[in-house]
Structure 1
């Protein structure tokens, strides 16, 4: 696509962002990653991101966004709030403003290093109802960032219209399925690889992998 250009991946060390990192390495000549420390429950998330970036030989930086946890009390930043999902409501793992701020700061970082391309793993197909994972939000923010800095950013969302099974399929096509299965941290309870098996993130991840492997086995 843009092999001679530079990109930054918004990177958490989870399944989706790691799939996006492998995707970006196929698409761009130079790739960097940025991880945000926003008071999330598990510092292991940041350590996973550092380790994966090191394994893949890409530059990695961690930016302090701890103010976000002070403003938005939620189950991802507070140990005393149980993770809950209620039908018809946005889960209490939603962090108000997170993707808005993350992508805005990623854009500032990108401009400083001469990168036009920003990659994020948001998805509107298998998502939890988070409003900042919607395609309309990403397109709107892309325009706003371009206007705010007079710079032609392009926000890429390789997973936007993929369900979890299709995300695993993409990982397999990128020759990264086993690595992503074994090295990434998706679990809300901070357990690497297959996770706790009980939280919503683990259930979604496991169900998607089972669906993909079943489809692959039937082909």
Structure 2
């Protein structure tokens, strides 16, 4: 029987780590790819590398520093504040990021013989990012297949679930404590429960609190 191989787009955060555990459960062989786009917190890459090492997953880090040159944003520039004004995209949005990340993940996947690509994008709690929408993923899936004449399947395990349900998925995979203690979601570069102040930490904590409360009620 032919073994199925997958590549996970991996940042070392809550969502992508949950997706990594999901991939390990669903595929015979899994690799992870992380992108260095001159994000302020190089700790993100270190965390991703450490998690991949602990889970015995082959890990590739690709240089995407040109993205920072083209699309300055709050995740890469100290002079841009993290904010989300009504009717505007958040300052943490990076133009073209998921388009480029998934395209390069596709190139890598083809080279290693993996037709499955996993990403943690989500339309339920997507902060208004257009490149986290299901319609974008479906469109890109077709484009990647046509561009490389390869039968890619892009999987989005978190697309239609909220943060509480994402914690629930991690728990179902036996990884809730691991995800809570080892991942980096915080925009200010604080591992685990984070700084508690930035939008990413608020979303993460609210989801965890909701999930734990629901679990207690059962």
**TM-score when normalising by structure 2:** 0.99
User: Where do 5+ consecutive residues of structure 2 fail to align?
Assistant: none
Which runs of no fewer than 5 residues in structure 1 stay unpaired?
none
Kindly indicate whether residue 15 of structure 2 is the aligned counterpart of residue 16 of structure 1.
yes
Structure 1 residues 189-200: aligned runs within 5 Å: 189-200=188-199
Please state whether the residue corresponding to 2:86 is helix, strand or coil.
coil
1:46-65 aligned within 5 A: 46-65=45-64
Residues 1:147 and 2:157 aligned together: no
- The 5 A counterparts of 1:178-197 are 178-197=177-196
| Aligned match of 2:67 | 68
Contact 1:3 1:27 in 2 (8 A): no
* Alpha-carbon separation, structure 2, partners of 1:136 and 1:65: 24
State the SS of the aligned residue for 1:122: coil
Distance 1:111 1:85 in 2: 37
Structure 1 residue aligned with 2:36: 37
1:88 maps to 87
Count of aligned positions? 218
Deviation at 1:3, TM superposition (A): 8.7
Name the structure 2 match of 1:214.
213
Distance 1:158 1:126 in 2: 13
Distance in 2 (CA, whole Å) between partners of 1:11 and 1:72 is 21
Contact 1:3 1:29 in 2 (8 A): no
User: Once the two structures are superposed, what CA deviation does each residue of 1:44-71 show, in whole Å capped at 9, x if it has no partner?
Assistant: 0000000000010000010000000000
1:118 aligns with 2:117: yes
Equivalence for 1:176: 175
2:101 is matched with 102
> 4+ residue stretches of structure 1 with deviation over 3 A?
none
Aligned residue for 2:87, secondary structure, equals coil
- Residue 88 of structure 1 and its aligned partner are, at CA, apart by 2.1
More displaced 10-residue stretch of structure 1: 73-82 or 103-112? 73-82
Counterpart CA distance in 1 for 2:44 and 2:114 is 25
Provide TM-score, normalisation by structure 1: 0.98
What is the alpha-carbon distance in structure 1 between the residues aligned to residue 38 and residue 205 of structure 2? 26
Alignment RMSD: 1.0
The one-character-per-residue Cα deviations of 1:17-70 (angstroms, maximum 9, x if unpaired) are 000000000000000000000011100000000000001000001000000000
